[in-house]
Structure 1
């Protein structure tokens, strides 16, 4: 029902205002309006709506609202595509199709249908990177992304077909007990989660993400960090909810690899000079912490994981939008070339400060509530995980401050053009990122109670 109303409202407005100079404005306003409708639906229609083909709870609805909201924001951030007429209508169609596919992903209740749309989301993402990317290496980066994610998803398809053969269904909302332990149970459990670990991604299978972020346009980076990584987290949460009996047999190996990988990724952030590369590697570190909370198998870990997904989706998307604004002004993503913004655009530097402190989980951001819950859930498994958690938290503050001071302080680059075009639109777009990131902290108890 949510998907049908989304389609009807969006395409009705596009048909009414078919003039190309109005279509972008109509689509952006429609996406924002649909996100508000989704918030009211989240608050008034109860916890569960499960049907034959679709099923939603607070987890799927909150990510659905995030998808539609970020869809409007990424079109606003890429408004220069419309101004310069660089295949702007094709770009709009690709973005709307991607938002629609992600919307269906969060609504379907059948695991096989989820897999179909899970893989279908790669096509518009591939087109965004290939068609509107910045560098000649975008072809290799897009192929890297496809090979990583599709190759890791093939074992998941085999497990889904095995579940269909054993039970006759593969629903998200009905528990499975086909994995009961033993060596083969561990192998099947790994096959179930490996596709989502690559999509999240975690360390050792993360190499496609920085390449894709660096080569993608700002809309591609925003949807990658804001939604596509959360698609892997959503699938991982659904799998863990159905296979929670297997977590105790496998958690030690995953904790050791994922948490230590998050520490190593945080160290990598401290030596980056490319702003988009630093933000991409920080996403890998945060998502490693998220997977640790999911693998803990307790209620606080799953509740904190949802808060982490929502907070990181808004924060990382805002940071990529800020990096794009700096790129438009200077023509480079290097922090060495973007020094001195504080003396020219103090208001823009204020947004850099706000998003950097949110990235290090300062109050009152959603990241703070999520990380507190994840701390408790991971430490509840064993006190031995205190050291990697402490290091990730400390290094998150370190590279967030490095990102702010490296790009805003210092002497101004002589090649800075000083243009203030599109500045008001950019400020509004950043404001719409920051407000839900910090205001939704007031409703953290409602969002976190999706599982009990």
Structure 2
């Protein structure tokens, strides 16, 4: 763990080599990715690779590997920024390196306060990535939405952590100190709600999600990939971790489960009427994260394992969808689905990548998205059978909007056949293949993604 962290910190220094910074950063993060995969070989039922303040377990290890895997892919996807001035390139490379380093720190922190500091440290570089390197004028509004929604839950979380530390004099995840059971149940429920607001915004679940579509639409492709693949998973990770400090929250969790299931259905319906391709993919992320949150709030080993599986699979698939949407945007210069269509008649391999990404997003066997969704849904139906119509309709609408993405972008007649589109280059094919390759290994051996 310390080797991984030291290597990621030293990589930031490579930003100051102006000629070789892209190549050196890409290969350095690729090396860190292979180092992080070694963590999967050391998994036990308890904490491992432990130092004084850092460690990993079955929950944090897959998320650390996912963070390291996506970093070099961000460099590959945002290749168009090489046409900008050197200052913009250095800013982009530094922000991606900084975010990745603090993501590794967040997922490996043993202390809750250091987890909170690293959790919040990703806010500023992500904000700069949206507002400085975004494409449109509305990026400033998107940055404000992102900033104030995130800060809205941060102060209550900090106050809650300080109160926990004052009562127990301990904030270590590995010791799992529960809150005193003599505290009245209503106080514990209110305390739990105050604590998790920051994580509900970060995921985000339906109702706390208004910042996400704006941020995705205005952010550069690397920002969208990091937001969808990793930063949204910080919320789920925090929910699972901090539940260890709270007992007897079943009543409030029941309400949250129902609210999240409704959010999954409503978001699926919203996706059908979207005309912006990136906004559609962003809303689908809200639906998947709402389902993930409902599995986490059930807090059984079965449902939490399904939530982790869905977080990993969604991180790879949603990032691939944003990368594919960017490939179309670079050629058509629009995100409107009614215009970016008919690419089946222009390219051969691109529709294949689209159909794989879309069927993975809707959850067809044997892809890991299906494994995670089935585990969560079976746990929820075991909890209450009245959720059958809600989850059933959400699944149907999810299939509708996922297949509509493929149909609208590939199978219809292209409106601008007179335009000469650039061919898809090998870098873009490799980018999509590297998104799908981990899914194959998860299908063959899903056990590292189970708690």
Distance 2:422 2:24 in 1: 25
Residue 130 of structure 1: CA displacement?
Answer: 0.8
* Residues 415 and 214 of structure 1, relative CA distance in 2, 3 Å threshold: farther
Residue 186 of structure 1: CA displacement?
Answer: 0.9
Task: Work out whether residues 106 and 118 of structure 2, in 8 Å CA contact, stay in contact via their aligned partners in 1.
Answer: yes
Give the total of aligned pairs.
445
SS of the aligned residue for 1:57 comes to: coil
Residue 379 of structure 1: CA displacement?
Answer: 1.2
Residue 222 of structure 1: CA displacement?
Answer: 0.4
**Cα deviation per residue 1:260-297 (whole Å; 9 max; x = unaligned)?**
01111100000001110000000000011001100111
Summarize the alignment of residues 223-372 of structure 1 with structure 2, pairs less than 5 Å apart. Answer: 223-243=226-246, 245-372=247-374
Residue 246 of structure 1: CA displacement?
Answer: 2.8
Unaligned runs of 5+ in 2: none
**Cα deviation per residue 1:12-32 (whole Å; 9 max; x = unaligned)?**
8x38xx653321122112212
Distance 1:395 1:317 in 2: 21
Q: Does 1:204 align with 2:202?
A: no
**Cα deviation per residue 1:6-60 (whole Å; 9 max; x = unaligned)?**
2366358x38xx6533211221122122112111222136452244311211211
Distance 1:307 1:213 in 2: 23
Match of 1:23 in 2: 21
After alignment, is 197-206 or 410-419 more displaced?
410-419
Q: Does 1:82 align with 2:82?
A: yes
Residue 322 of structure 1: CA displacement?
Answer: 0.5
TM-score between both structures, scaled by the size of structure 1: 0.94
After alignment, is 22-31 or 286-295 more displaced?
22-31
Distance 1:138 1:210 in 2: 11
* Residues 403 and 416 of structure 1, relative CA distance in 2, 3 Å threshold: farther
Distance 2:420 2:324 in 1: 16
Task: Work out whether residues 94 and 124 of structure 1, in 8 Å CA contact, stay in contact via their aligned partners in 2.
Answer: yes
* Residues 75 and 393 of structure 1, relative CA distance in 2, 3 Å threshold: same
Match of 1:35 in 2: 33
Residue 421 of structure 1: CA displacement?
Answer: 5.6
SS of the aligned residue for 1:55 comes to: coil
TM-score between both structures, scaled by the size of structure 2: 0.95
Distance 2:448 2:197 in 1: 30
Summarize the alignment of residues 428-439 of structure 1 with structure 2, pairs less than 5 Å apart. Answer: 428-439=430-441
Unaligned runs of 5+ in 1: none
RMSD: 1.8
Distance 1:93 1:66 in 2: 19
Distance 2:447 2:93 in 1: 36
Runs of 4+ in 1 over 6 A off after TM superposition: none
Task: Work out whether residues 62 and 448 of structure 2, in 8 Å CA contact, stay in contact via their aligned partners in 1.
Answer: no
Match of 1:71 in 2: 71
Residue 84 of structure 1: CA displacement?
Answer: 4.0
Residue 409 of structure 1: CA displacement?
Answer: 1.8
* Residues 260 and 122 of structure 1, relative CA distance in 2, 3 Å threshold: same
